[in-house]
């Protein structure tokens, strides 16, 4: 029986750099492992043993849940959802449904610093409040010289 051989990922710094580039592109450990030909279990073992590699992975991908959810939302935004309708006469109609407003609203809610204008955005200028007299003067209304009788329909 042979002795355990460390994986190429554990031995070669260039292979680690290639993995980190793939991780940046895909956003998930599984995606980067598939792209580089490494096993997910190997990557996870290496992350547990090598704290520098684990820190590099964390720096590249941030919170893995964020990347995975964001990727799913963006895929739904770009690919839509396939819908199918079958009619009584046997016709089948298929189309793609895009709910852009919903996806964007969820992204804004989950990550306001990335998906909304944030606190640094320019705010519209505040308009001064007018009194009734200023408003009447601004639109050029004149007071009626006679009283208005709502029952007579003079309004």
What is the predicted pLDDT for the residue at 134?
Answer: 81
pTM recorded for the entire structure? 0.42
Average pLDDT in the 15-23 region?
89
- Distance (Å, rounded) from C-alpha 143 to C-alpha 58? 71
For residue 83, what are the β-bridge partners? 95
Q: In sequence order, which residues have a C-beta less than 8 Å from that of residue 49 and are 6 or more positions away?
A: 10
Question: Domain boundaries in the chain?
Answer: 9-61, 68-86+93-115
Average pLDDT in the 27-42 region?
86
What is the predicted pLDDT for the residue at 102?
Answer: 76
pLDDT digits (tens, 9 = 90+) for 64-121: 565 666 677 777 777 888 889 999 999 999 988 887 777 777 778 877 877 776 554 5
% of the chain exceeding 70 in pLDDT:
75
């Amino acid at each position: 029986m042979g002795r355990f051989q460390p994986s190429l990922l554990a031995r070669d710094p260039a292979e680690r750099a290639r993995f980190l580039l793939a991780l940046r592109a895909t956003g998930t450990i599984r995606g980067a492992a598939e792209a580089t030909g490494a096993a997910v279990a190997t990557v996870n073992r290496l992350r547990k043993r090598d704290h520098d590699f684990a820190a590099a992975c964390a720096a590249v991908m941030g919170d893995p849940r964020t990347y995975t959810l964001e990727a799913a939302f963006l895929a739904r935004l770009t690919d839509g959802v396939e819908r199918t309708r079958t009619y009584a006469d046997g016709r089948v109609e298929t189309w793609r449904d895009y709910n852009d407003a919903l996806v964007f609203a969820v992204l804004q809610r989950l990550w306001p610093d990335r998906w909304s204008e944030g606190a640094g955005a320019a705010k519209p200028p505040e308009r001064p409040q007018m009194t009734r007299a200023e408003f009447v003067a601004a639109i050029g209304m004149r007071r009626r010289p006679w009283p208005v009788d709502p029952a007579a329909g003079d309004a």
